[in-house]
Amino acid sequence: MPQRDPGSTGGEGPATAIFEAPVSRRHLIGGLATAGALAGASPAPAKARTFGGWDFIVVGAGVFGAWTAWNLQRRGHKVLLLDAWGAAHARSSSGGETRLIRTEYAGNALYTRWAWESLAEWHALSRRHDSPVFHETGALYIYPEDTAQIDRSIAIQRALGIPIEKITAAGMARRWPQINFDGIAVGVMQPTMGALTARRSVQALVGEFVKAGGGFRQFAVDPPRSERASLEAITGTGGETLRADRFIFACGPWLPKLFPDVVGARIVPTRQDVFFFAPAAGDTRFESAHLPAWVDVSSKDLHYGFPDIEARGFKIALDAHGPAFDPDTTDRRITDQALADVRAYLARRFPDLAKRPLAESRVCQYENSDNGHLLIDRHPAWANSWIVGGGSGHGFKHGPAVGRYVADLVLGTGKAEPDFALAAHKVHGEAMDDGNG
Ligand SMILES: Cc1cc2nc3c(=O)[nH]c(=O)nc-3n(C[C@H](O)[C@H](O)[C@H](O)COP(=O)(O)OP(=O)(O)OC[C@H]3O[C@@H](n4cnc5c(N)ncnc54)[C@H](O)[C@@H]3O)c2cc1C
C-alpha cells in the first residue's frame, strides 16, 4: 500500500472468436476459477497457430491491464487481454484482499487528482456488481508532527472538493480509543476514502470486459522480439503466435523478465508481508463501523492497516520495502521475525490486538520503480508497443485513471506525463531516491 509518496503489423484475416463465453456471477467472484473457466472456453492451443485481427493485445490482467483493456474496449476497439495465470491471481500484485484508496498524497497534485477521479470509477464499478468493490471505511493518516506539508496537502484536496478533516491527537483518542496515539501530533481523516477489494474488483472488471465481447485468454507470453521498428506478434510459451496492431504490456513485477534490457532493474519487486489478526469474539471495535483504514507516518517502517472487513480480520502490514523478491520462485510464507516485529508494533499502537491469534497471512510483492512514480511509456524500439507498470506499492487505487491515461496515450489523444517516462526512471542502485516507504 500506502507508500511515502513519490515525489499492425500483423492483423491477418478475421479475428478468431477465441471466446465470447457468457460470464456468470460464479466466474466473477470465483477467484482463479474466473481465468480457468474462461480459458477453458478457448480452443486448446495448437502448435504455432496464428490468430489475428485484434486492434490491441494487452498482456497482464492485473489492475492496470484490466482497466486499460476495458477503456480501449469502451472506445470501440477490439481487444484481447492475456494473463499467464488469470485475472488478479494469487501471486499478482493486484491479487490481495484489500487496497487502500486515499487522496492524502504529501502534496502531489497529480496522484491526488487521479486517486479522486478513480474513486468515482471504483464507485461506479461497485454499483454494477452485487458484491462490494469498495468499502467506505474512511482513511486516517497519523503524523508525529504538524507540518506545513500536511496543510499544503489538505489545501490541494479541499480545492478538489475532497472531504477532509484535520484532528488533534486528543480528538482522535476520543474518537478511536482502541488506538494508542502516543507520539502522534495530528491526524488527517478522509471520510470518503477506504478499502478497495483488490482481487474481486479486477475480476469483476475483466468479467464486464468479456461480457461486452472482449477476448480473454490464459496465455503466457515469451519475452517479445522483433528486429523491426514495430512488434508484429507475440509468442506464447507453448509456441502459439498472436498478432495485433498494437501491444500493451502491463505485467507488473514480471516486466523486468519480459524486458530485461529496456526495463531491467528500473523495476525491482520486493517481498511484502501482510498479516490478519482475529479480534476477540464480540469485540466490534476493530470493525469498519468503528475504525477507519489507517497509516502511521510516525512508524519508521510506515505501518498501515485496515479494520476487519468482510470478517477477514484486522489487517496490518509494513510499507517498508522487503528484500528483492522473485514472483515466480519464492514460497509465500511469512517469517517468525516479521510476525514478532508486527506484534511489537501492535503492543504499542493497538495493545488489545497484540496477543490475538494470527488469522491469516499473505506474502505479496511491490513492483518498485526507483522513485515511486509509475512507469508508462512507449517501447523505445517498437512504435506500436507500450510498457505499463511501476505501481510501487501505491498503484492499485489509480487503476481507472491509468486505464484512461494509457488509452489516451496509445490512441494519440493524450499528453505523456514526463515523470512516467522510461528516461525518468533510474536503474535501482544508481543514486536511488527511495520515494516509497
Ligand atoms: C502487499 C501490497 C499492498 C499494496 N497496497 C496498496 C494500497 O493499499 N493501495 C494501492 O493503491 N496500491 C497498493 N499496492 C500496489 C498495487 O497493488 C500494485 O501497484 C498494483 O496491483 C500493480 O498492478 P499491475 O497490474 O501493474 O501488476 P499485477 O497485478 O502483478 O498484474 C500483472 C499481471 O501480468 C501477468 N503477466 C506477467 N508476465 C506475463 C507473461 N509473460 N504473460 C502473460 N501474463 C503475464 C501476471 O500474471 C499478472 O497477473 C499494494 C501492493 C502490495 C503487494
Q: How far is the CA of 184 from the centre of ligand 1 (A)?
A: 32
CA atoms within 13 A on the CB side of 369: 25
Q: Where are the domains of the chain?
A: 16-94+199-267+371-424, 136-195+268-365
Q: What is the pLDDT of residues 293-339, one digit of tens each?
A: 999 999 888 999 999 999 999 999 999 999 999 999 989 999 999 99
Residues 379, 74: Cα–Cα separation, whole Å: 24
Among protein residues, the one with the nearest Cα to ligand 1's atom 15 is 393
The cell numbers describing 230, all together, are 514495430
Whole-prediction pTM value?
0.90
Helix 198-211 with 63-74: angle, nearest 10 deg:
30
Main-chain phi, psi angles of 370, to 5 degrees: -65, -30
Handedness of CA 350, 351, 357, 361 (dihedral sign): positive
Q: How far is the CA of 393 from the centre of ligand 1 (A)?
A: 9
Residues with CB under 6 A from ligand 1: 1-2, 59-65, 82-85, 89, 92-94, 96, 99-100, 220-221, 250-254, 258, 272, 274, 317, 364-366, 389, 391, 393-397
Q: Pick from 38, 64, 92 the residue to mutate for probing ligand 1's pocket: most ligand atoms within 8 Å of its CB.
A: 92
CATH code: domain 16-94+199-267+371-424 is 3.50.50.60
Q: How far is the CA of 1 from the centre of ligand 1 (A)?
A: 11
| Position 94 pLDDT exceeds 60 | yes
Residues 95, 273: Cα–Cα separation, whole Å: 14
**What integer pLDDT is reported at residue 36 of this predicted model?**
35
**What integer pLDDT is reported at residue 428 of this predicted model?**
83
Residues 339, 353: Cα–Cα separation, whole Å: 13
**What integer pLDDT is reported at residue 299 of this predicted model?**
86
Q: How far is the CA of 92 from the centre of ligand 1 (A)?
A: 5
Q: Per-residue pLDDT averaged across 169-186, rounded?
A: 98
SS3 343: helix
Q: Which conformational region is residue 240 in: left (phi greater than 0), alpha (psi within -120 to 50 degrees), or beta?
A: beta
Q: How far is the CA of 313 from the centre of ligand 1 (A)?
A: 23
Q: Which CATH architecture has domain 136-195+268-365?
A: 2-Layer Sandwich (3.30)
Handedness of CA 262, 73, 125, 39 (dihedral sign): negative
Among protein residues, the one with the nearest Cα to ligand 1's atom 31 is 62
**What integer pLDDT is reported at residue 37 of this predicted model?**
33
Confidence of residue 64 (pLDDT cuts 50, 70, 90): very high
Q: How far is the CA of 285 from the centre of ligand 1 (A)?
A: 31
Q: How far is the CA of 14 from the centre of ligand 1 (A)?
A: 32
Among protein residues, the one with the nearest Cα to ligand 1's atom 37 is 251
| Position 389 pLDDT exceeds 60 | yes
